[in-house]
Amino acid sequence: MELIVGKKKSERETMPGRTMRRIWKFKLLYVLLLPAFLWVFLFDYLPLYGISIAFMDYNVIKGFPGSEWAGLKHFQALFDSEMFRNAFRNTLIISLYKMISGFLCPILLALALNEIRRAWFKKTLQTAVYLPRFVSWVVYGGIITILLSPETGLVNKVVELFGGNPAYLLVEPAYFRTILVVTDAMKEMGWAAIIYIAAIAGLNPEVYEAAIVDGATRFKRIIHVTLPGIAGTIVVLFILRVGYVMSAGLDQVINLYNPMVFEVGDILDTYIYRVGIEQFNLSLAAAADVIKGVIGLALVLTANRIAKRIDPESGIF
């Protein structure tokens, strides 16, 4: 018995040594990871200290030590604000629409690209759908504004061609959310499809060959081979997507919206920008951001738990 205890104690004592030897063995890999670790620490973990601003009447001159604690005062002010409630509602609606389109479109695109047999055409099409991802929303928003212009826009020219009346769609509340969802899908689905394309490429070709021998059509191969094969990837990306429900896209909205569509286009990100930057009410803006973060974390944990209940091998942790 004493021998066993002594052996376990020896193993515990040598574990830090084994860890250091492992780190030294793969030191070059850890050096490559170091910039990523520093980035995450500086821009994700270090700013968490700023959450305390949400619980105090923060004064820039006095700083953290001199500012008085306010408890939940700013959270109460947010829930009493009609503008915040409207921004919260718009965020949920726009994000849910984007989550559906941004989740389904990349999968469909990846499945479609996988069925293309001519390599040159497949690569050309892939490049074409990837390119919008590398264009900033400032430029992309300008292109959308030009395309939707009531006088020179291509969309309105097509509408006139079919006998319709031109309209400035970006100032129409009835169309603004649809424009946000469609343009976001057009810009991001090519980049988002990369992971699905890689997952499909990793499937065993022999399974496809067996399905062909059994007489399965292309559609049946997609349903019974491809989709089940990438199901784990789909679940993981869906869980990660759920975590961004409270972020409806600041860059996109701030470049496209205007006072005419504030009622349907104002989201939490633009609300925080106005309150924090324009009105310089940092405590109120921080409180709104804390609400965003807490809800996002709760949604990720809930989605992961549901995924684990359905399939114990799925989920992200």
Q: What is the CA radius of gyration of the chain?
A: 26
Contact 57, 71 (CB under 8 A): no
pTM, rounded to two decimals:
0.80
- Per-residue pLDDT of the chain (317 residues), as tens digits, is 444 444 444 445 566 777 788 888 888 888 999 999 999 999 888 888 888 888 988 888 888 888 888 888 889 999 998 999 999 999 999 999 998 888 889 999 998 888 888 888 888 888 888 888 888 999 999 999 998 888 888 888 888 888 888 888 888 888 999 999 999 999 988 888 888 988 888 888 888 888 888 888 888 888 888 888 888 888 888 888 888 888 888 899 999 988 888 889 899 999 999 988 888 888 889 999 899 888 888 888 888 888 777 777 766 66
Cα–Cα distance for residue pair 317/312, rounded to 1 Å: 10
**What domains can you pick out in the chain, each with its CATH number?**
1-71 (no CATH), 74-310 (1.10.3720.10)
Q: Quick one: which of 300, 317, 279 has its CA closest to 81?
A: 279
Contact 141, 255 (CB under 8 A): yes
82-101 exposure pattern, b = at least 16 Cβ within 10 A, e = fewer:
eebebbbebbbebbebbbeb
Three-state secondary-structure class, residue 56: strand
User: Residues near 13 by Cβ (< 8 Å), separated by ≥ 6?
Assistant: none
Helix (H) or strand (E) holding 101: helix 82-114
